[in-house]
Chain A
Amino acid sequence: MMQSSHRRAGSIIPQGQFATLLLESAKKLSPLYLAKNPVMFIVLIGTVITAVLSVEKIISSQSFLYELTITVLLFLTVFFATFAESVAEARGKAQAASLRSARADTPANRVLDDGKIEMVSSTTLKHDDLVRVGVGQLIPADGEIVQGLAMVDESAITGESAPVLREAGGDFSSVTGGTKVISDEIIVRVTSLPGESFLDRMIALVEGANRQKTPNEIALGILLAGFTLIFVLVVATLLPLAAFIGVRLEVTTLIALLVCLIPTTIGGLLPAIGIAGMDRALRANIIAKSGRAVEVAGDIDTLLLDKTGTITLGNRQATAFIPVPGVTEERLAKAAHLSSLADNTPEGKSIVELAILRGSRVETGLREQAEFIEFSAQTRMSGINTPDGKQIRKGAPDRMMRLVRESFQKVPPELQADVERVARGGGTPLIVTEDGEALGVVALSDIVKKGIKERFAQLRAMGLRTVMITGDNPLTAKAIAAEAGVDDFLAEATPEDKMRLIKAEQQKGKLVAMMGDGTNDAPALAQADVGLAMNSGTQAAKEAGNMVDLDSDPTKLLEVVEIGKQLLITRGALTTFSITNDVAKYFAIIPAMFASTIPSINALNIMQLSSANSAILSAVIFNAVVIPMLIPVALRGVSYRPMSAETMLTRNVLIYGLGGVIVPFIGIKAIDLVVGLVF
C-alpha cells in the first residue's frame, strides 16, 4: 500500500519524457490515425486549407499574418489533442514499466525428466517446464506449485511487505514471476512464459497498445460526430447566405468559426480519458483486462462483499468474559487464559490478550509443567491440565454443556441465556469449564472496521446495494450485517449460493460486482459483471475475473466502482463543457464576421472585443489552449465524492454547464486584451 500511495503522487507528465512525448504526439498527427477521430480530422482538414490560403497570400505578397496565425493555432489544436493522448499513454507505460522491472531475465533451475537440475535462463523456459526455486531465489515465471510450500515475498508486485504462504494444491498454489521465495523450496510448473504471462498481457493492455474503444466511447463519438456535422452545415451555408446580404466572408474565418464550434475539447481529450481510466485503476494496483470493465464498474448496482477483510478486521477477537453466578470474572479470565496458552490461533491469542488486560497472570514455570490438550475434530475442545491437577477446557457451547453433564454437574440456567445472547449479538460464544464445572462464557466477536458503516451509507446514497457474504450462521451474520450497515447478507454461503445470488440480481436487471480468489469462485467471477480476482488467488480465478487486484485487498471493490463512475463523469462533464463553450464563441465570432460590412451588428459584440481579427483569434486561441489546460482533469478525472444522482447532476451541471457558458466569455475577453494589441 505504501508503494501505491507513492505512485499516486507525481506530476502529470512522467519525468524526463517530454521530448519522447512530443515525438509520440507528432506521430499521431498522421491523417490515417486521426481519421478515427472525426472531430480532430475536421480540424486537420481545416489546417491544411488555411495553410494553402496562407501560402497563396505569401506568394501574391499580400498581408498573410492573420491566415498564418490561424493555421498555426489550428495545428496546435490538433497537436494538443494528440499530446493529451500521448501523455495518458506515457503514464500508463511508466506505470507498467515499474511493474515489469521486477520481471527481467532471471536464472532458473529447470528440473529435467530424469530429475536432474539444469541451470537455464528464464527466457528459454517453455510451457509445462518444471523449475525448482529455493530460498532467496526469484521465481522465474508465472506458474503453479506442484510440490512443497514456501513463504513468498510478493512486494515487488503488490507493494505488500509481509510475505505470503504458497503451497501445492488448493487455492494458494499460484506464484507470480519476479517474486522471491524466502523460506523452504518449491517445484513450480511454468504456466506462461516471461513476457507473455497473464500479467504481461494485461500490462500491455494498460499501455494502450491494444486499446479498443469501449461501447460508451463509441456512442459518445457518434454524438460528437453528429454535432460536428451540424456545425459543418451551419458554417458551409454561411458563405452564400452572407453573400446574399452583401457580406464577403473569408474562408479562413469560416474555418476558424467551424473549429471553434465543433466539440474539439471533448473530441481531443476523449481517448486520453479512456486510457486514464485504466491507468487510475492501475494506480490503485488493479489491472483491468479491458476499458469496458472499468466502464461497467460505474454501473454496478450490487456489491457482493466478503465479510472477512472487507467488513470486519480479519479474525474474531475476544471481547468479554461473562461468568455464571457465583464465579468472579477474575476466575473466569484466569481459566480462559490458561486454556488458551497453547492456542496459537488468532482467537486464542486474543483471549490471552483480553485476560491479561483483565489482570490475569500466569505463574512462571507453569508452561513447562502443564499438559496441553490440543483441539481435535473428535473432542472439539482444547485446554490444559495444570500441574496442580485442574482440568480446564474451553470449546463450543453444545460440546461443553455435554461435558458438564457428563461430569454430573448442573448447567446453570444463566449459562444457556448468556450463550444465546452472545450468539444473537453476532459473537461466537465459547464456554470455559474447570473440572467439569461451567465457569462462564467467553465472547468472541467480529470487529467491524472503523468507518465502514459510513462508507456503506455513502454507497447507499449512490444507489448501490451491498450484500455481505459470510460462512457464519444466519444469526451471527444478521448481527454483523446490522452493525456494519450492509443492505443484505448471505449466511453459510457456498460458491453455488453466490452464483445463485448473482444470477438472481442480474435477472432483476442489476449489475453485480464481486471479489474472489478460490478456484470455486471462478464461475461466479465470470458470471459477475465486474469480477475482481485477488492476485493471491488461483490462476483459474484470475482468468475468470475481468480485473485483478495486485494487493489482494477486499475493500478494493469499492474503489473500482468509484474509478468507473469517475471515468464516465469525466466524459460527461467535458462534453457538457465543450458544447456550452459555443455560446461565447458565437458571440465572439459572429459579430466580428459581419460588423465590418454592417456596422450596426457590432451591437452583438457584447464582450466589446477590440477588433474583428482579434475577436476571431481570441476565440481560436481559447479553443486551442483549453485542451492542454484540461489535460489534468482528463487524466485525474473530475473531482468526485459519493452522492446521490440528483445532487451529482446538479453539481456537475452547475460547474461544467453553467461554468462552460461563463468561462469562455472571461477567457476570450482576457485573451483579446493581449491579442488586440497586435491585431
Chain B
Amino acid sequence: MDVFLSYLLVFALALPLGWYMARVFSSQSTFLDVVCSPLENLVFKLLRVNPRQGMTWRGYALALVFTNLPLGLLAYLIFLFQGSLPLNPDNIPNMPWDLALHTAASFITNTNQQHYSGQAQLSYFSQLVAIVTLMFVTPAVGLAAMVAVLRGIMGGLRPDDNTGAIPAANLGNYYVDVFRAMTRVLLPLSLVLALLLTWQGVPSTLDSAKTATLLEPSAESTTQTIPIGPVAAMVAIKQLGTNGGGWYGPNSAVPLENPTPLSNLLQMIAILLIPVASVFMVGFFTHRPRFGVSIMGCMVLLSAALTFFMLVTALEPNHAFKGLAASSANMEGVEQRFGATLSALWATWTTQTSNGSVNAMMDSLNPLAGLVPMVGMWLNVTFGGDGVGLLNFFTYLIVTVFIAGLMVGRTPELFGRKIEAREMKLASIALLISPLLILVPSALTVAMPSLAANSNPGFHGLSQIVYEFSSATANNGSGFEGLGDNTVWWNVMTSICLILGRFIPIIAPLAIAGLIGMKKAAPQSAGTLRVDTPIFAATTLSVILIVGALSFFPVAVMGPIAEHLTLGQALPQPIPLEGVR
C-alpha cells in the first residue's frame, strides 16, 4: 500500500512538472521569468553567449565537454587543497590525489559515488562549492542534452527560431538549456524541498560540529562529536538531481540526514520526481502525447517489475534465521525507523534512477534482492538519471526502430527520418559501453588480486565488485559496500568507468539526433512504423531486456543467483588463473 501510494504521489506531482518543463525548454513564458530572465540576460552577457545562436550536435557536444572539463578540474583542485581553503572549521585535511580524482570524476558525472565518508573527509567549502555546485550543474547538463536530442529527432529547431543560420540540424543552445534547467527547474524545486526538510529537522547551518556529552559514558569515551552543516540544502539537490551523494557517509540512513517518516517520503518522491517528469515532458515537448505515453508505459512496466521482485525477495527472512520460529523479513542492515518495505523500495528506486542515495545497507540484502539494484543499473532506463535516463532509452529506441522498421518492410526510420549506417554505428558504441565498462574492469580486478587488493571471496565478493563497477558506469553512485574501495586501483578504475559511462552515452545520442535531424522526413502513413503503439513499446521492452540484460546473465548467475542457490553451503575458493585451461 505504501508502495502504491508512493508511486501515485510521484506521478501526481510529475505530470504538472513535466508540462512545466516542456514550457521551460520550448522557451515559452513561465511564472519564474520575472526573476530569472534578467539574471539570465546578465549571465549570458558576462559569458558572451548569444542565447539565440543555435548549435549543431558537434557544437552542443563540444560546449558540453568544454564546460564540464574545467568544472571537474576545479573540483579536483579544491579537494586536493581543501585543508588550506576557507570554511573548514573542523580542520579536515587535503584529499590524496586518487581519492580527489575519483571524487571529482564522481561528481562531474552526476554519480556521487563516494569512496570517502562525507562528513569526515570533506570541508564545508568542498561540500558547498565543489559538491553542491556540481550537484546542480550535472543534472542540468543531463536535462539539456535530453532536450537537444528531442529537438534533433523532430528535425531540429526551425531557422527562424535562432538568428545565426547553421548548416546542420539546430539542436538549440547548450548554455541556455543548462541555465534554464538550473534556474527554472532545479533551484526552485530544491528550495522548496530544502525548506520542507529543514522543517522536519535536517540541519541547516554553517556552524562547526557539535560535541555532546554521552548520557551513559563508557570507559573509552565520554563525549561524541556530531557533525552538522548546511545538510538540508545538499540533501534536497542530492535527491532531485539524481545525485545521491549524502552529507554523511551512511547517507539517508543517518537520522540527521533523514529524520522522520515524512522526510523519508519526501526524499523518496524527490528521487523519482524529475526522471518521471522528464518522460511526461517528452509528450508535451514533442507534441506527441502518445509517444510520451508509450515511453512511460515501458518504463513503468520495468519499474513495477523490478520493485515487485525487490519486495518479494527483500522481505524474505534472512537465511541465517531460516527454520527459527520467529522469522520475519531480513532486517540486517535495515534502518529500524523505516522498516524493511520502505528500505527495499528506496533501494530499487535509487538504482532504477541513477540516484544512488541509500537509506539501508545494500550489502545486507538477501542475495536475490541484491540482484535487483544491479539489474536496475545494467538497464539504466527505468526513468534513469535526470535527462540521461531518457538518453539511454533513446539508444534502445533507435535499435528497436531499426529491427522493427525492417519487419514492417521499410528501411528503418524514426518519425520519417532514416536510420542508416552512421546512426547504427553510434548506437552500437553506446550499447557497448555498459558491458565494456562493467565486465572488463571486474575481470581485471579478480584476475590481478595483488593489484586490486580485493577484500571478499566467493559469490558475494564477486557481486560487490560487479556492483561497484555497475554503479560507476551507470553513474548511479550507490555502493554495495563491504569493499575496501578507497585504494588507487579502485579510485582510478572507477574514475575511468565514471567518465566514459557518463559522456559517451550522452554524446552518442546527441550525434544520432543531429544526424537524423538533418534528414528529410517522410510523411507518416499506414505503412510507416509508429513508435507510439503498444506493440512497439512491447518490442522496445524486449530489446531492452534481451540486449541490455542478457549480457549480464552470466555475472548475475555467478554472483547473486549462485549465492542464493548455495546459501548455507561452504564458500568456493578462487583458483589461480594460471591453472585455468
Contacts and interface: CB of A to CB of B under 8 A. Distances in A.
A216 interface: yes
Interface stretch (A111-119, A226-234, A356-364): A226-234
B527 A653 contact: no
A508 interface: yes
A569 B408 contact: yes
Contact of B535 (A223, A295, A579, A646): A646
A619 B125 CA distance: 59
A234 B577 contact: no
Contact of B440 (A233, A251, A598): A233
A234 B443 CA distance: 10
B276 to A, nearest CB: 27
A576 interface: yes
Given A510-B522, A645-B527, A653-B404, A245 B539 contact: no
Interface in A223-251: 223, 225-227, 229-231, 233-234, 236-251
Interface stretch (A131-139, A315-323, A346-354, A459-467): A459-467
State the main secondary structure of chain A at its contact with B: helix
B462 interface: yes
Interface stretch (A72-80, A122-130, A530-538, A600-608): A600-608
Given A240-B446, A583-B550, A649-B529, A603 B565 contact: yes
A507 B574 CA distance: 66
B92 interface: no
Contacts of A604: 557, 561
A23 interface: no
A590 B553 contact: yes
Given A234-B551, A241-B442, A649-B539, A594 B411 contact: no
A242 B558 contact: yes
B15 interface: no
A645 B528 contact: yes
A241 B535 contact: no
Interface stretch (B285-293, B430-438, B495-503): B430-438
A649 B447 CA distance: 45
A9 to B, nearest CB: 25
A590 B551 contact: no
A219 B421 contact: yes
Of B405, B443, B521, B572, most A-chain CB atoms within 10 Å: B443
Given A243-B580, A463-B525, A219 B409 contact: no
A26 B282 CA distance: 53
Interface string B545-577: 011001101110110011001100100111111
Given A239-B580, A572-B407, A649-B404, A657 B539 contact: yes
A657 B542 contact: yes
A241 B558 contact: yes
B580 A249 contact: yes
Interface string B398-409: 010011111111
B410 interface: yes
Interface string A500-526: 000000001111000000000000000
Contacts of B423: 219
B461 interface: yes
Nearest to A657: B542
A653 B539 contact: yes
B129 interface: no
B250 interface: no
Contacts of A227: 428, 547
A237 B558 CA distance: 12
A252 to B, nearest CB: 10
B571 to A, nearest CB: 9
B579 A245 contact: no
Interface string A609-641: 000000000000000000000000000000010
Contacts of A509: 416, 520-523
B451 to A, nearest CB: 13
Contact of B428 (A223, A564, A657): A223
B562 A231 contact: no
B577 A243 contact: yes
B505 to A, nearest CB: 14
Given A245-B562, A298-B410, A645-B528, A223 B520 contact: no
A594 B523 contact: no
A572 B405 contact: yes
Given A234-B551, A597-B572, A572 B406 contact: yes
B477 to A, nearest CB: 23
A583 B447 CA distance: 28
A412 interface: no
A640 B407 CA distance: 11
A583 B446 contact: no
B554 A234 contact: yes
B574 to A, nearest CB: 5
Nearest to A218: B421
Given A579-B546, A583-B546, A648 B574 contact: no
Given A568-B410, A568-B411, A649-B535, A246 B446 contact: no
A236 B551 CA distance: 12
A406 to B, nearest CB: 55
A249 B577 CA distance: 11
A672 interface: no
Nearest to A587: B553
Given A230-B435, A510-B522, A645-B529, A569 B536 contact: no
Contacts of B536: 649
A396 to B, nearest CB: 41
Contacts of B406: 216, 220, 568-569, 571-573, 575
Given A229-B432, A231-B551, A248-B579, A653 B407 contact: yes
B424 interface: yes
A586 B428 contact: no
The 3 A-B residue pairs with the shortest CB-CB distance, nearest first, are: A463-B527, A572-B406, A226-B428
18 contacts: A215-B421, A223-B424, A240-B577, A243-B576, A245-B574, A247-B575, A301-B527, A462-B526, A462-B527, A565-B410, A568-B406, A569-B408, A572-B407, A586-B550, A600-B565, A652-B408, A653-B542, A657-B539
Interface of A: 215-216, 218-220, 222-223, 225-227, 229-231, 233-234, 236-251, 295-296, 298-299, 301, 460-465, 508-511, 564-566, 568-569, 571-573, 575-576, 579-580, 582-583, 586, 590, 594, 597-598, 600-601, 603-604, 640, 644-646, 648-650, 652-653, 656-657
Given A569-B408, A600-B565, 16 more contacts: A220-B402, A222-B421, A239-B443, A241-B555, A243-B447, A243-B580, A299-B522, A463-B525, A464-B525, A580-B546, A586-B553, A594-B562, A601-B561, A640-B409, A650-B535, A653-B538
